[in-house]
């Protein structure tokens, strides 16, 4: 009898790491938000212990920050990360564009065209959340068409490092229009199978428009934090207790899904 390969058992918290990471990458948990442990326990049908152990793993990856007396929050992207990681992402996308033009099937290109056309419908409707989801699907599809698993793995590692802020950041109207113009050029280059053109467009898209959106996002988050601190400082110095503010409703986290026990 052939000797069977050893069975690898994963702990419960290891099983939770991937779906929690996906929730961050898909924007269900957004940068700066406190991680709702109680909701996640109900969502996955587990106790707090494996959830907290999984959060520690994600904190070690840099996706989360664990703060004393506050729990875990989704890490924000920084200016240093934009300078360090976006050029790497641009190079990876440029190579993916070259390979996609060479390796993609006609059916795959037609699927990307359909995604692009729907994304344009969402743009004209002003539906930014729907636009952002399709935007990510199109960029992911470029790596699928490239047909290089190692390249795709590197891309997702970098995407995890920037917490997928790229696909959840709100855009100014000017940046949004510019991004749409660039996507129109990119789909035309893909359909023409013009690898050098698509490679150049993708690299400029990431280092130019996308990096600009990220910097704008960082600046707006910093301004909002500063305004919040000034408001709290003013409230602390104000005489007498003010009226109690209503507790904001917690945002639901997807549909419940069970994680198998060990």
Each residue's pLDDT, cut to its tens digit, for the chain (262 residues) gives 455 444 334 577 778 998 888 887 767 787 788 999 999 999 999 999 999 999 999 888 878 889 888 889 888 778 888 899 999 999 999 999 999 999 999 999 999 999 999 999 999 999 988 898 899 899 999 999 999 999 999 998 888 777 656 665 667 889 899 999 999 999 999 999 999 999 999 999 999 988 888 888 788 777 766 666 667 666 555 555 544 444 444 444 555 555 544 4
The most distant pair of C-alpha atoms in the chain lies apart, rounded to whole Å, by 82
This prediction's pTM: 0.70
Q: Sort residue 142 into left (φ over 0), alpha (ψ -120 to 50) or beta.
A: alpha
**CA gap 116, 138 in Å, rounded:** 7
Q: Are 147 and 42 in contact (CB under 8 A)?
A: no
If DSSP codes are grouped into helix, strand and coil, which group holds residue 250?
coil
Task: Locate 81 and state its tokens.
Answer: 């990360």
What are the residue ranges of helices labelled H in the chain? 12-25, 37-44, 48-61, 79-103, 106-125, 128-146, 149-161, 173-191, 195-204, 211-237
What are the residue ranges of helices labelled H in 26-65? 37-44, 48-61
List of domains in the chain: 13-75 (1.10.10.10), 79-218 (1.20.120.530)
CA angle 210, 216, 222 (to 5 degrees): 140
CA angle 244, 246, 252 (to 5 degrees): 155
End-to-end CA distance of the chain: 28
Determine how β-strand 64-67 pairs with β-strand 71-74: antiparallel
pLDDT of the residue at 228: 63
């Amino acid at each position: 009898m052939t000797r069977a390969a050893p069975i690898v058992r994963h702990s419960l918290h290891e099983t939770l790491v991937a779906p929690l990471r996906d929730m961050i990458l898909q924007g269900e948990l957004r940068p700066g938000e406190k991680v709702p442990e109680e909701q996640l326990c109900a969502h996955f049908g587990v106790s707090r212990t494996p959830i907290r152990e999984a959060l520690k793993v994600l904190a070690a990856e840099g996706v989360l920050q664990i703060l004393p007396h506050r729990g875990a929050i989704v890490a924000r992207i920084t200016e240093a990360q934009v300078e360090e990681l976006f050029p790497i992402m641009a190079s990876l996308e440029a190579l993916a564009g070259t390979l996609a033009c060479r390796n993609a099937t006609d059916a795959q290109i037609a699927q990307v065209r359909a995604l692009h056309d729907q994304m344009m419908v969402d743009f004209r409707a002003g539906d930014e959340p729907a636009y952002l989801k399709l935007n990510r699907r199109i960029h992911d599809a470029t790596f699928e068409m490239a047909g290089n698993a190692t390249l795709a793995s590197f891309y997702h590692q970098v995407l995890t490092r920037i917490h997928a802020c790229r696909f959840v950041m709100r855009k100014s109207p000017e940046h949004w229009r510019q991004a749409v113009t660039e996507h129109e050029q990119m789909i035309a280059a893909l359909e023409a199978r013009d690898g050098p053109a698509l490679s150049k467009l993708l690299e400029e898209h990431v280092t130019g428009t996308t990096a600009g959106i990220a910097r704008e996002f960082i600046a707006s988050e910093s301004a909002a934090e500063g305004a919040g601190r000034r408001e709290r400082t003013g409230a602390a110095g104000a005489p007498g207790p003010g009226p109690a503010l209503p507790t904001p409703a917690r945002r639901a986290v997807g549909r419940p899904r069970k994680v198998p026990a060990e």
